[in-house]
Structure 1
Amino acid sequence: MREVERFSKKREGGILRSCGLALKWITSLLSVSDDICGIPSNQPRFIFSRIIGGEEAVPYSWPWQVSVQISDEHVCGGAVLAREWVVTAAHFLLNNKIEINFKRSVKQYIIHPSFNKTTMDSDIALLQLAEPLEFNPYVGPVCLPAKEEAVQPSRVCVVTGWGAHEAVPILVLDTCQSYYINLPSKVTQRMICAGFPLEEGKDSCTGDSGGPLVCPSEDNSGFYTLHGITSWGLGCGEKSYPGVYTNVGVFVDWIKHITSENLISSKCIIIPFFIAFLVLMNVFLTAALLLCFSGLGGGREV
């Protein structure tokens, strides 16, 4: 009997030790590293099929995707850079004239000083949230490019909206400039063009303004970097008129200056299916995942 008792105690201790080690392992998996950005918890899949011509996104594919909503209506996209910072398009803030309510739901918004609402040059703005987000595999920041980092033509990147995404190739800037040469808005070095100018039906469109254009790492490590912000174009999916995006690499110094370079937050624990809502009066800023195929409202600047 004593041998059995000793064996039981030994076995019990072993089980407890094993559980303790397992708990440490599980806890390590449930934490978000201080240095992690640009990693989807579910790798996206693509069947070239809206956004215009895009397909519904896999849930949790793009944890930095933000929907800016007024009176429960999606009007603009954005991308999470840090726990208190979201980047979006400047023209949305000017067009909607929601300074009072918007400041109450967000601590402040900052439009780039060089933004030109006529030419759409420097179409970028930062939103500082009134309350910080909690990062986990379902809500997290996208990576910023290096200063002046250029994304090479023909590289395939991804434009995301609120519920849909589309893989689009980066275009040679000179070629893109030729498509818009007769329009008031000119394509400048502070812009990126992406899409299928020889085809119809594949493009970012209504409601996608301010949303991210992200490019996967070239070493296939699974990281995504924010290279573009959906800005303007002629129509949606029109032949010979590709989508035009703010070139984020040009504005990295400005972004870091405004955010004090605090672009990665501290660790936090996973909350499954977490959706962060900042709500005040009739203005909503939702940092969540692409759970619904609802990117049909609002409007990209044309």
Structure 2
Amino acid sequence: MFSCVVSAQQLLVKSILFSLLANELALGRPIVNGLVPEYLEQFHFAVSLQRTEDAAGGTNRTHFCGGTYIGDGWIVTANHCITSFSSENDTIITYIGGHQLNGTDHWRVFSIDKTISNPSYNRYTLDGDIALLHVDVTTSDGHFLDSLDEMIEGTLLLPTRSLAGGGVFDSNVLNLIGDREEEHENEYGSEECHIYGYGSATFYGPGSNLLQYGPVQPLGHRECREMLGPVVAPAAANSGMFCAIGLADACKGDSGGGLVCRRRLTGPSEVESFDNARPYTLRGVISYGAGCGLPASPGVYADVGFYWDWIQEQILMTSQSNIVSSK
């Protein structure tokens, strides 16, 4: 009986806290202590979600959240990014590819033709903070997406199981699939994980026109709970949310961006390059945290592996629906 009462009290406190922070979360969460990618195409799957508003002399575009392009027109982002977007005068567009936001490469800009919220999303606790967007390929250069799809096939893997399950850190963060799994069998510390986004470096600071990234390390639920406390930390190890901490942290405008992991370079003889056989695996979606870059304060992420069955189901249902409607 006591544990149930405590859980209810914690849920109430958490709900109040997130209600107070709703306006800040709606703005999303450069990366604190972030770096500009070493080579231009390192995060070619990075997405900027932007508001468009008609203004004198043209249309204003303002970045407010991030996302990850996973191919075939689909983007994974945070659910709170799209549920907080309610203006009738604004629309959402996507800028795909991780390049400078104020560039003139208009072929990277796409409107959205489908938005799918996760049914388990809780706007008070932010559990289930993951959503899908599909871009309208007719609104820009479809050839660009075709090329990007081919590129992503070999450079961005998708997880086949959850990272957050169990109270101990899952050392197989990469969770590589197919014949790559035996080739790059993983041990704790043999992988590196990065977050990326166009957000601000401080909570009240401006966003960045340049994509920035930084290193983080996923944590087990016990460690996360000890650092964040039971109110802010994910409710349970198998809740579909997990924590990560590192030299970098997400901040305002980074929400919806990805946490990706890949194997480390084996030594000085292995040279980094875009075509190197070190594909990233999309492990998490930036969700929330306590401030930006605070010492010993992890960020919280939606576990892509936990929701992978749901993601596949939504993509398949949409594909089948399009086939039927085209007949």
Classify the TM-score, shorter chain: 0.5 to 0.7
Q: Does the aligned pair in 2 maintain the 1:78–1:211 contact within 8 Å?
A: yes
Q: Gaps spanning 5+ residues in structure 2: where?
A: 1-29, 53-60, 94-109, 165-169, 172-187, 199-210, 267-276, 320-327
1:157 paired residue number: 193
Q: Does the aligned pair in 1 maintain the 2:116–2:131 contact within 8 Å?
A: yes
Structure scoring higher RCO (CA < 8 A, sep ≥ 6) equals: 1
User: Helix, strand or coil: the match of 1:134?
Assistant: helix
CA distance in 2 between partners of 1:262 and 1:91 (Å)? 22
Q: Say whether residues 1:81 and 2:70 are aligned partners.
A: yes
Residue 179 of structure 1 deviates from its aligned partner by 2.2
CA distance in 1 between partners of 2:116 and 2:228 (Å)? 29
Change (3 A) 1:184 1:176: closer
- TM-score, normalization by structure 2: 0.58
Calculate the aligned-residue CA RMSD, in Å: 2.9
1:221-260 matched pairs, under 5 angstroms: 221-260=277-316
1:143 paired residue number: 157
Change (3 A) 1:101 1:69: closer
CA distance in 1 between partners of 2:257 and 2:278 (Å)? 20
1:213-228 matched pairs, under 5 angstroms: 213-217=259-263, 221-228=277-284
Residue 125 of structure 1 deviates from its aligned partner by 0.2
1:105-116 matched pairs, under 5 angstroms: 105-116=111-122
CA distance in 2 between partners of 1:187 and 1:165 (Å)? 28
1:1-302 matched pairs, under 5 angstroms: 50-58=30-38, 59-71=40-52, 72-98=61-87, 101-102=91-92, 105-131=111-137, 133-136=145-148, 140=152, 142-148=156-162, 151-152=170-171, 155-162=191-198, 163-183=211-231, 186-188=234-236, 189=238, 190-196=240-246, 202-217=248-263, 221-260=277-316
Residue type at the aligned position of 1:148? S
CA distance in 2 between partners of 1:84 and 1:65 (Å)? 13
Residue 164 of structure 1 deviates from its aligned partner by 0.5
CA distance in 2 between partners of 1:217 and 1:202 (Å)? 19
Q: Deviations over 1:205-234 (max 9, x none)?
A: 111100010000479731110000000000
Name the larger-Rg structure: 1
Q: After superposing the two structures, state which structure 1 stretch, 86-95 or 170-179, moved more.
A: 170-179
- TM-score, normalization by structure 1: 0.62
Change (3 A) 1:54 1:261: farther
Q: Deviations over 1:59-80 (max 9, x none)?
A: 1111110001113111110001
Q: Gaps spanning 5+ residues in structure 1: where?
A: 1-49, 264-302
User: Helix, strand or coil: the match of 2:152?
Assistant: coil
